[in-house]
Structure 1
Amino acid sequence: ITKHLADASPRGNMVFSPLSIYAAVALLAPGAREDTLDEILRLLGVRSRDELEDLISRVAADALKDQSGSGGPSVAFACGVWNDKARPLKTAYRETLVGTYKAKSRAVDFRGNAGKAAQQINAWVARVTGNLITAVVSPKSFCPATDVVLFC
């Protein structure tokens, strides 16, 4: 991944989070079945969906806790799942994302108003990162086939 990202922007600075990549892939697991689920679990190094959910719950509750109030590190980590309003997420999937994975879940209009969808996503990213990151998508980030966008 590092080489691919560096090759894409050889003269620019690069920052990426392996934890964010892990978390984004983990967000796929609650909605996956059979071979796809097996492949995701193998990639993430866990044996079952339950083991993955337990790991994610512990990391979200402990390792990513903001400890700045007690002199520790200030931590901001957020995951978001944005679906097109014409393609609602299944209730059980949404509940797992929000409850177990602590992800934000919102429906937007990728197809009918890509500009507003990009604005909503970018506003959320700016808010959860304390304006350290102000934009991650543009209206051109979405195509007519865009149903879901994951951010971590």
Structure 2
Amino acid sequence: MRFLLHLGSNQTNLAFSPLSFHYVLVLLAAGATGDTLNQIVSFLGPSGGMAHASLASHAASAFLARGNGSEPDVRCGVGVWVDSSLQLRPAFADMVTSQYNATAQAMPFQEKPDKARVEINRWFEDKTGGLIKELMPEG
């Protein structure tokens, strides 16, 4: 709730998707270990990390897959981007794509930040059917 209050502090209208927040936290948990993992799982709630991972994976396959023919038409884009100077663990990158219907890739944030911004914005525009055109504005 503190996070939501912070997000809406300068806004007159605010819409958000609890499923999206849950989804991102589960992705973070999938790549975390030790105290960080324990904190995320504790924040997610008493069901435990595996239950939350199962829910997010099910949502990805059942509700967020494009062209599934179900109503309403739900569009969601979830991705993990890291600077091209870093490398994601292959097992994590595979899990992101196979279990969570998300993307995981490197971007030239340090060398060409505007190019990375444009590519990510294009990706989100495509994933949301043009509903989100500029997730990351210039600057």
Q: TM-score range by the shorter chain?
A: 0.7 to 0.9
Report the CA distance shift for 1:73/1:27 in structure 2 as closer, same or farther (over 3 A): same
Q: CA deviation at 1:32?
A: 1.0
Q: Are 1:25 and 2:25 an aligned pair?
A: yes
Listed as ranges, the matches of 1:3-152 within 5 Å are 3-10=5-12, 13-45=13-45, 46-48=47-49, 50-64=50-64, 69=69, 72-140=71-139
Q: Secondary structure at the match of 2:30?
A: helix
Q: Distance in 2 between matches of 1:7 and 1:135?
A: 22
> Partner residue of 1:146?
none
Name the CA shift for 1:108/1:64 in 2 (closer, same or farther; >3 Å).
Answer: closer
Deviating runs (4+, > 3 A) in structure 1?
Answer: 63-70
Instruction: Report % sequence identity.
Output: 34
- Give the deviation of 1:66 after TM superposition: 5.7
Q: What is the rounded CA distance, in whole Å, between the counterparts of 2:126 and 2:67 in structure 1? A: 19
User: Cα gap change, 1:14/1:93 in structure 2, threshold over 3 Å: closer, same or farther?
Assistant: same
With the length of structure 2 as denominator, give the TM-score of the two structures: 0.85
Mark the runs of 5 or more structure 2 residues left unpaired by the alignment: none
The aligned length equals 136
List per-residue Cα deviations over 1:83-138 (Å, max 9, x = no partner): 11110111111111111111111211000000000000000011111111101113
Root-mean-square deviation (CA, aligned residues, Å) is 2.0
Gaps of 5+ in 1: 141-152
Question: Structure 2 counterpart of 1:102, which letter?
Answer: N
